[in-house]
């Protein structure tokens, strides 16, 4: 039996679920099919994220998407304010100044701190960590809640979810597409949205589109029991040099070595060496004792070569729309990105959320 739809969205993680929901909202007369390779949508990157809404994350090109998404996330109850600290060692004044200059004029709210201001915010902070940048608006994100929200919006808007359906073939058929899954099912669609995360270039290759170099990178997180326990009020603490971050979570500490290890698209797993490296870096910052590693996991964060997301129609293959390369910022930017992506795909006018976004900054054609 052949399934037909106007738009087939490949991937039902945060990217696919959010753009499917927006497509349903903006084009009520279009049929949308959301196709997921796994039985559980969001099994890979979305389900393993220690996500936070952090204004500086991803750099200045990502700030407009992050700030545009903030009101939606706050109003929906998906954010819990925590604050963030980028910490640095004595002697790193030039690096602090460069960071502040980099984000000047972007709209982010940050300020530099000295040791006297910083030390009370991180109990047990070791000597030598004398500088920081404080971002008070940083917040934890309810990732599971946000993903479920978009899946529910998509369902209520008439989107059909087809799980456990890995795409095996994608072929142009007239002005549309014929898709075949590994279990032999056929789908005919007018257009295809590539929201396949770590598999985005693989899906592009199936469609005859040129892969854009979207590379999956492994990120490790460990849950630790420490003495003393991490205070619930502890801000998200990030190394200005990009070597670690940690935050409290339900009486435990979530810690990452901020690794970015190239990986094929796969069911990623944490490696002992990365966890040990993270703990060593933590112990250089605070005098807490690590009593146990209770959990460890890894996810894949996929970046285009310039580390900007890819939103828009493929420049050479008709009917093939990219919505990928969202790295580690795909969750914090999901509301604006999905709204923007749906507007680009449908040719809709921008609204208050997306009016300040630059389509050329994220267009697939920028790769020539």
How far is it, in rounded angstroms, from Cα 33 to Cα 167? 13
Structure letter (DSSP) for residue 234: P
Task: Identify whether the C-beta of residue 367 lies closer than 8 Å to the C-beta of residue 347.
Answer: no
> What is the pLDDT, as a whole number, of residue 50?
79
221's enclosing H/E stretch is strand 215-227
Burial label for 294, CB within 10 Å (0-12, 13-18, 19+), is exposed
> What is the pLDDT, as a whole number, of residue 339?
98
> What is the pLDDT, as a whole number, of residue 48?
85
What fold characterizes domain 2-47+143-212+307-367? FAD/NAD(P)-binding domain (3.50.50)
> What is the pLDDT, as a whole number, of residue 258?
96
Strand order, beta sheet including 52-53: 52-53, 139-141, 79-81
Taking alpha carbons only, the member of 295, 290, 271 closest to residue 280 is 290
How far is it, in rounded angstroms, from Cα 131 to Cα 334? 32
Taking alpha carbons only, the member of 2, 19, 68, 102 closest to residue 341 is 19
> What is the pLDDT, as a whole number, of residue 49?
84
CB-CB neighbours of 308 under 10 Å: 20
What parts of the chain have a pLDDT lower than 70? Answer: none
Q: Which two tokens stand for residue 8?
A: 């087939």
Task: Identify whether the C-beta of residue 362 lies closer than 8 Å to the C-beta of residue 304.
Answer: no
- CATH 3.50.50.60 region(s) of the chain? 2-47+143-212+307-367
- CATH 3.30.9.10 region(s) of the chain? 84-136+215-303
> What is the pLDDT, as a whole number, of residue 51?
82
Q: Which CATH architecture has domain 84-136+215-303?
A: 2-Layer Sandwich (3.30)
> What is the pLDDT, as a whole number, of residue 46?
84
Beta bridge partners of 171: 178
How far is it, in rounded angstroms, from Cα 337 to Cα 340? 5
Taking alpha carbons only, the member of 237, 188, 199 closest to residue 15 is 199
> What is the pLDDT, as a whole number, of residue 218?
97
DSSP string over 186-197: EEEEEEEEE--G
How far is it, in rounded angstroms, from Cα 353 to Cα 59? 20
How far is it, in rounded angstroms, from Cα 33 to Cα 44? 20
> What is the pLDDT, as a whole number, of residue 162?
96
| pTM for the full predicted model | 0.96
DSSP string over 122-172: STTBPTT--EEEEETT-EEE-HHHHHHHHHHHHHHTTPEEE-S--EEEEEE
């Amino acid at each position: 039996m052949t399934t037909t739809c106007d738009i087939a969205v490949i991937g039902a993680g945060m990217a696919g679920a959010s753009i499917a929901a927006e497509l349903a909202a903006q084009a009520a007369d279009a049929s949308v099919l959301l196709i997921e390779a796994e039985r559980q949508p969001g099994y890979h990157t979305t389900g393993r994220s220690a996500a936070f809404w952090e204004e500086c994350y991803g750099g200045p090109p990502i700030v407009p998407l992050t700030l545009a998404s903030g009101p939606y996330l706050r109003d929906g109850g998906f954010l819990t304010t925590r604050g963030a600290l980028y910490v640095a060692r004595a002697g790193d004044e030039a690096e602090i100044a460069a960071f502040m200059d980099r984000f000047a004029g972007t709209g982010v709210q940050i300020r530099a701190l000295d040791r006297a201001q910083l030390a009370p915010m991180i109990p047990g902070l070791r000597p030598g960590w004398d500088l920081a940048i404080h971002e008070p608006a940083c917040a934890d994100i309810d990732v599971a809640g946000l993903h479920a929200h978009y899946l529910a919006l998509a369902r209520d808007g008439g989107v059909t979810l087809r799980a456990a359906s890995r795409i095996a073939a994608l072929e142009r058929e007239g002005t549309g597409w014929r898709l075949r899954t590994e279990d032999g099912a056929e789908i005919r669609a007018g257009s295809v949205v590539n929201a396949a995360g770590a598999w985005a270039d693989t899906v592009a290759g199936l469609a005859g589109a040129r892969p854009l170099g979207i590379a999956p990178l492994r990120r490790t997180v460990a849950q630790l029991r420490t003495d003393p326990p991490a205070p619930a009020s502890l801000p998200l603490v990030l190394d200005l040099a990009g070597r670690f971050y940690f935050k409290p979570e339900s009486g435990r500490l979530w810690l990452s070595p901020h690794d970015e290890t190239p990986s094929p698209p796969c069911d990623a797993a944490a490696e002992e060496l990365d966890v040990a490296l993270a703990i060593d870096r933590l112990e250089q910052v605070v005098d807490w004792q690590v009593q146990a590693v209770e959990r460890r996991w890894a996810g894949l964060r996929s970046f285009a070569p310039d580390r900007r997301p890819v939103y828009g129609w493929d420049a050479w293959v008709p009917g093939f729309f990219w919505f990928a390369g969202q790295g580690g910022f795909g969750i914090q930017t999901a509301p604006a990105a999905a709204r923007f992506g749906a507007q680009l795909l449908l040719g809709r006018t921008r609204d208050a959320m997306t009016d300040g976004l630059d389509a050329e900054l994220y267009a697939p054609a920028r790769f020539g």
